Amino acid sequence: MVNRYFILLLIFSSFGVFSNTKLNNTELYVVPGNQEWELVSYTRNACKVCTSDIYVKSGQVKINNTWIEGSFNFALNKNMKVIFSSNTKFFLGDVVKELEIKE
């Protein structure tokens, strides 16, 4: 029985079911069509004068159950629930060291 669970775990992990993706602030990201990316966690660089954490070039982002559309930027806090809709284009500010998302 344990072997069956181990095999299922291997199968699911090979398809990326349990994996999260880590993004950094070196490129523009585009959420693939028919997908949503949910923010899992993030880390910041130390800063004296902080800029925005996320710059949305176009698309839709759900922040705390409210959808926002267009071109905008925002700062993150630990209590936020953030979901990027399909085809959303965004990049991370220089103060965000790493952003972990669940596809």
Mean pLDDT of 25-35: 95
The per-residue pLDDT for 55 is 97
- Of residues 41 and 10, more confidently modeled: 41
Decide if pLDDT at 21 tops 70. Answer: yes
pTM of the model: 0.79
The per-residue pLDDT for 6 is 46
Provide the token pair at 102: 């669940």
Distance (Å, whole) CA 87 – CA 60: 8
DSSP secondary structure code for residue 41 in this structure: E
Q: Specify whether the CB–CB gap between 85 and 59 falls below 8 A.
A: yes
Provide the token pair at 100: 């972990």
Mean pLDDT of 25-38: 95
Distance (Å, whole) CA 42 – CA 97: 8
